[in-house]
Amino acid sequence: MTELSRMAESKWRGRRSFGVLALLLVGATSLSACSSSSSSSGGAPSTEVTIGFIADTSGVAASFGTSYSNGVKMAVKQLNEGAYLGKGRTIKLNQIDEGSDPARGVSAMNGMINHQNVSAVICCALTPVAAALKPLALKNQLPIFIYGATLPGLNEPPYAYRTIPVPVDDIEPMVTKIVQKLHPSKVAFAVNSDNDGMQSMYKAAENAYKVTGVQNVGTAETLVTDSNMTSTADKLIAMHPDIISITMTGASPTPLLSSLRSRGFEGPVTFQYLSSGTVSQVGVKAAQNIFFPLDFNPSSDNPTIAKFVSSYKAAYGDPPDAYAAAGYETVSTIAEAAKSVLDAGGAVSRGTVAKAASEITKEDGTLYGHVTFSNGQIAIGGHLFGTISPTGDVEEWK
Amino acid sequence: MLIFLQQLANGISLGALYALFGLGFGLIFANLGILHIAYGTVTTWGALFTLWAIQGLHLSYVAGFAAAILGCVILSVMIDQVAFQPLRRRNDEMTSFLVASIAIWIILGSAALIATGARYSSYPASSFPAVRLNIGGVILSWAQWVTIMVALIATVSLELLLRRTPVGTAIRAVSYSPRAAALSGVNTRYTIVIIVGISGILAGAAGVLGGLSTQSVSFQLGEGLLLKGFAAVVVGGYGDIRGTAIGGLLIGLIEVFTGQYLSGSFSDAVTFGLLLVFLVYRPRGLFGKTEMVERA
């Protein structure tokens, strides 16, 4: 048989139904490119404290999951270089990517549970992933430290901690400040409808504006995976708001801001988070008149923060954002728990780390300044809010 | 009324992007019998080629656009010759091509993730004209009307190429029966390269215009287009250029109007509900031919 005839036979022989092909296509696209790194095997020496890291460096959360990852890695590097745990003792990271997918997160978590050297796990940019992993952590008594995931109530010591401030706590003070300083009379909202954390913040914002007497002129709902924001921007602008509140995660908040500005909306826009790439992506002009919580202030003259910012810039090129700071602080908290165990002459294990972490009530010199821990949840003193300066830098909104 | 017209314009623009993608995706499926799911990732690379040409090499947007076209043509031909040609030679079935395409998709997707560092970028605002059309209060950005024009030109050009030129005759002959085409003097392998090259041109254009329309260039850009482009092909009809263009427009309009008048939460559900309806009740689409479905 000639190559030609074989090709002809091949082409027309497969008589598959289109239904099957469609299912294959849909199923296949639900997979995502996977990546993992630095997985350690058993037999690690006792001088190593192994931390499992279930990262979000691919999938819908990759844009900010990478910032978390950078912060985590920088903290491990700096703590090891400074011999934080003591001479000859190091922290080892056992990292695997979960692709922003709860199912892959569960698989990764089971791997960590079976890896006896892992004393604690860091994870979860997204609420659905954190909600899937937390029960496993509790059941298997493996301490989990959540650096993202905005839904309240994910903390449950001694085996579940959240090492970033609860974002919903910032909303009422931010709305109060906005109303006092900007005097909006009408507000419109943009929110991800498929993310519990975003929904809880949206409802808090909606309620806070209602209490202050600002008229709610409507809401535009999107999905986390949506990328084309032009029609959403037009929908919001057609509501004629004085201010737009964006409570969205994933890749879409920045394009939405860009679309709003390019369609002529120059009014104030609020975000729950600001990614480090937002200003460079939309341009300095479009990034004016935006406001966001500033739990981590990269422009602070605090020496700890200044050192972190300069080290981060040197390592990754961009200034760190709140996600990077959260990753850094999470490792620092686990390291503090491990150090207290070692300093007391104990051995680092899941149980001892959990117990030590539950006894941490406050920390000084963090990237958030002085912080307290209550029921496994970090809390910072006061609420700062940020904006973008005319030169494109993040600065405190005073 | 104005918001209706504005969203109509947005829907046409978005649909034009889906149509552009669907034309390339459908061209490979209808003529080579390959469900090329890596096509979305080729589109992603088109957007990245332009980004690097503009940001790294400081080229103009026209040169950046050309870089995307050239890069995607080369990439598409390489994929075909490396991954698909050996399967053709081995007389493999359609499923093998699908598996090979999945492998290419994962490889190229991972490479894009590594190359971008998972960062989202956008084309510098200064690199593209900041012109906006304002027609009675309905605003069309430069990216939107260029997308509509490019999709229109691509649809007409492809239709003319396939129906009115010797190359188009050869493509249709190879599509119908490679053996008969070869016996008639058609160089089948060369013709296949032409088909793949044209799909590369369309992928490059869709990538650049997708990056402009969403104002975001990322390693995931093409993934969003893949299912919508596939839906455009199914709704319009396999192997029908005009049908694919109309299918793309329909998908874009449905998506935008669902977001405006129902909720953005339901856009995908409505779009893929429509896809399901077509797959079950009218698998040949609006304009496709029955024999095309049977062959596939």
Per mean pLDDT, which range of A19-28, A129-138, B168-177 is the poorest? A19-28
Cis preceding linkage at A293, omega within 30: no
pTM over 0.90, yes/no: no
Amino acid type, A344: A
Q: What is the pLDDT of residue A10?
A: 46
For A211-238, the pLDDT digits (tens) are: 999 999 999 999 888 888 999 999 999 9
**CB–CB contacts below 8 A, A to B:** 198
Asked if B296 lies within 8 A of A18 by C-beta distance, the reply is yes
Q: What is the pLDDT of residue A20?
A: 44
Strand partners, A247: A191
ipTM of the complex: 0.87
Closest residue in A to B293 (Cα–Cα): A18
Distance from CA of B156 to the nearest CA of A (A): 26
CA angle centred on A346, ends A341 and A347, rounded to 5°: 95
For A310-355, the pLDDT digits (tens) are: 999 999 888 888 899 999 999 999 999 999 999 999 999 999 999 9
Residue A157: pLDDT band with limits 50, 70, 90: very high
Strand partners, A97: A55
Nearest Cβ partner of B218 from A194, A229, A251? A251
Nearest Cβ partner of B279 from A22, A220, A222? A22
Contact between residue B231 and residue B275 where contact means Cβ atoms under 8 Å apart: yes
Closest residue in A to B11 (Cα–Cα): A231
Residue B283: pLDDT band with limits 50, 70, 90: confident
pLDDT score of B194 more than 50: yes
Distance from CA of B292 to the nearest CA of A (A): 10
* Residues of chain A neighbouring B141 (CB-CB closer than 8 A): 230, 262-263
Residue A43: pLDDT band with limits 50, 70, 90: very low
Amino acid type, B86: P
Contact between residue A252 and residue A227 where contact means Cβ atoms under 8 Å apart: yes
Q: What is the pLDDT of residue B286?
A: 83
Instruction: Assess A27–B contact: CB distance below 8 Å, yes or no.
Output: no
List the 281-310 stretch of A: residues with Cβ below 8 A of B. Answer: 281-283
Closest residue in B to A276 (Cα–Cα): B119
Asked if B105 lies within 8 A of A28 by C-beta distance, the reply is yes
Q: What is the pLDDT of residue B91?
A: 80
* Residues of chain A neighbouring B90 (CB-CB closer than 8 A): 6
Q: What is the pLDDT of residue B131?
A: 82
State the DSSP code for B264. G
* Residues of chain A neighbouring B144 (CB-CB closer than 8 A): 230
pLDDT score of A167 more than 60: yes
Nearest Cβ partner of A29 from B37, B139, B265? B37
Nearest Cβ partner of B37 from A14, A25, A194? A25
Residues 6+ apart with CB under 8 A from A74: A308, A311, A312, A315, A324, A327, A328
Asked if A234 lies within 8 A of B213 by C-beta distance, the reply is no
What tokens were used for B202? Answer: 């369309």
Residues 6+ apart with CB under 8 A from A319: A276, A298, A309, A312, A313, A394
Nearest Cβ partner of A277 from B119, B179, B275? B119
* Residues of chain A neighbouring B109 (CB-CB closer than 8 A): 32-33
In angstroms, the CA B41 to CA B204 distance is 11
List the 173-232 stretch of A: residues with Cβ below 8 A of B. Answer: 193-194, 220-223, 225-232
Closest residue in A to B182 (Cα–Cα): A4
Residues 6+ apart with CB under 8 A from B53: B59, B63, B64, B67, B68
Q: What is the pLDDT of residue B290?
A: 58
Asked if A66 lies within 8 A of B294 by C-beta distance, the reply is no
pLDDT score of A251 more than 80: no
Closest residue in B to A255 (Cα–Cα): B215
Residue A18: pLDDT band with limits 50, 70, 90: very low
Instruction: Assess A255–B contact: CB distance below 8 Å, yes or no.
Output: yes
SS3 state of residue A218: strand
Helix residue ranges, H only, B124-240? 142-164, 166-176, 178-183, 188-214, 221-236
Q: What is the pLDDT of residue A60?
A: 78
Distance from CA of A273 to the nearest CA of B (A): 16
Asked if A226 lies within 8 A of B264 by C-beta distance, the reply is yes
Residue with structure tokens 């498929």? Answer: A194
Distance from CA of A14 to the nearest CA of B (A): 5
Closest residue in A to B188 (Cα–Cα): A4
Contact between residue B11 and residue B147 where contact means Cβ atoms under 8 Å apart: no
In angstroms, the CA B202 to CA B41 distance is 13
What tokens were used for B271? Answer: 């779009």
List the 34-53 stretch of A: residues with Cβ below 8 A of B. Answer: 34-35
Nearest Cβ partner of A14 from B11, B93, B223? B93
Asked if B283 lies within 8 A of A8 by C-beta distance, the reply is no
For B119-159, the pLDDT digits (tens) are: 788 888 788 887 888 888 899 999 999 999 999 999 999 99
When pLDDT is averaged across residues B46-62 and rounded to a whole number, the result is 93
Per mean pLDDT, which range of A339-348, B78-87, B265-274 is the poorest? B265-274
Asked if B224 lies within 8 A of A227 by C-beta distance, the reply is yes
